[in-house]
Amino acid sequence: MKLLRISILTLLALSGMAFMNYESKQFEISKNLEIFTNIYKELNTHYVDDIDPAGLMRTGIEAMLETLDPYTNYISEADIEGYRYMAEGKYDGIGARVRKMGDYVTIVEPYEGGPALDAGLRAGDMIIEVEGKSAKGKKTDEVEEILKGFPGTEVTITYRRPGEDKDQRVTVKRDEVAVKNVPYQGMLDEETGYVVLTTFTNNAGKNVAQAIKKLRDENPGMKSLVFDLRNNGGGYLREAVSISNLFIPRDEIVVTTKGKVRDRDRSFKTMNPPQEPDMPLVILTNEWTASASEIVSGVVQDLDRGVIVGTKTYGKGLVQNTVDLDYNAKLKLTTAKYYIPSGRCIQSVEYNDGEPVDIPDSEKAVFKTRAGRKVLEGGGIIPDVVTGGENDAAIIHFLQDNNLIFHYATKYHQEHEQIVPATEFEFDEFDDFIAFIEEKDIDFRTDSEEKLDDLLAAAESDHYMALVENEVEAIKEKIASEKEDDLQEHREQIESLIEKEIVSRYYYQTGKIEKSLRNDRDITTALEILHDQTIYNSYFEVR
């Protein structure tokens, strides 16, 4: 009885403490909301200049959310079309991907069959005005906000096409634009199928299943599959479960979510017999493979169902839920973390006051796959075969950062009315590309040169210039000499990037994918693995 009495008193004490903590937190929330409201009113009433109340409030909301993680966001009514595209793979607008280049937002990819392409807009066209208002200096999202709108409405765009003297004006009728989440499926050879998934939007699982079935029906000799998840930023969790179920048995746990509210923790299992239970499988990943993509690749690795090839994935293991707010706004907030079958979490960093803090390898827990292979928690999914970044050379970063390959493809498209089919096209005008770069007169500076300049500045400040100047200048001359050879040294990779960009101007996304298959190191590695069953099986052995 004495023990029982002590236990009851302890429980009552703990309950009282929890109640006091709850009451204290509620008081703090009420107090700070009142302070915030008073500041907002005082600023609106007495600040020397006129204030945009909505803009001021949005700044406050975004500043508050920035202290958490980058995936907890406020979505205003004006942002709903962008949110809809991310969630559903479709939106209402002109049907083109745009990006700021220099002073103007530029069309980088008009979607095949979309309103922009039908109106005559092309990749490379700079948006000078929208609805008669200058777009110079505007951010990408500011221009996108105007381009999007209800189907059937119109937007007038003034654009400047490189190589032409006069700006042109066109009226584009907005429409619902659906972007395919499976833009391509085909055969890499007589025995190996290939499917690309770009995002886990609605029906991703159904579309992948149909793509594989179509390949099987049309190619009876198909024995293995390469599933490409590179550059796939994720999407719906349910689609990750659905796609995993294509390859793994019914009643297998795919992912578990764990958060602050334990009653909401859930495990998601496969529900159906797998479509492809035994077909040899390679999944391709890179540093932009994230979230739902990491769940699928992680599940396949944890259950020893296939081989992962490529580079380490992004490491986004956080779960977001969306809450409806008043006035058609939404709050997307992180509520839990993803845990895959081995028990590991794929989240690569923790967030402290909004800033990412990397998890060192020494603090990463070791888990085991079903066959007993060791895998690490945190830092994304490490492939079974790490191929490394193919385009990591400084010269390639320079060409891409300055959009030189993109601009050259625009010029090429203007000078060539048509080209041979995507798979047959070969770029053989490298000297012309070099001349194009030289005309742009953009200084190619490496990180090493930047750091050497910093060293010289520090030496001058510390009065050591006489000691280091000659040595540093000699190093810079050697770097300059090496740079002259960089274009030729990396010619094959650069030509491959040029080919893909040029092909996309004529055959759009499908052609770009078809062309990319020819010189793809990850795909070459995948085929080597799949062509030899002994090699394939060796990756599931415990070492």
Q: Is 136 a catalytic residue?
A: no
Contact (Cβ atoms closer than 8 angstroms) between residue 526 and residue 226: yes
Closest CA to 318 of 342, 338, 343: 338
Residue 315 host element (H or E): none
Catalytic residue, from 69, 228, 302, 520: name it.
302
DSSP line for 232-287: ---B-HHHHHHHHTTTS-TT-EEEEEEESSGGG-EEEE--S--SSSSS-EEEEE-T
**Dihedral sign for Cα atoms in the order 411, 414, 418, 421:** positive
Supply the DSSP string of 430-476, one letter for each residue. Answer: HHHHHHHHHHHT-----HHHHHHHHHHHHHHHTT-HHHHHHHHHHHH
d(CA 20, CA 16): 6
Could you say which of 224, 242, 291, 496 is catalytic? Answer: 291
User: Rounded to whole angstroms, how far apart are CA atoms 412 and 344?
Assistant: 49
Neighbouring-strand partners of residue 194:
186, 226
Q: Is 392 a catalytic residue?
A: no
Looking at 100, 138, 148, 316, which residue is catalytic? 316
The whole-angstrom separation of Cα 409 and Cα 395 is 18
**CA–CA dist 166, 160 (Å, integer):** 7
Q: Tell whether the torsion through CA atoms of 43, 46, 48 and 49 is positive or negative.
A: positive
Q: Is 302 a catalytic residue?
A: yes
Name which of 181, 199, 178, 303 is nearest 246 in CA terms. Answer: 303
Edge-to-edge strands of the sheet including 281-285? 184-187, 192-196, 224-228, 281-285, 307-310, 385-386
Tell me the catalytic residues: 291, 302, 316
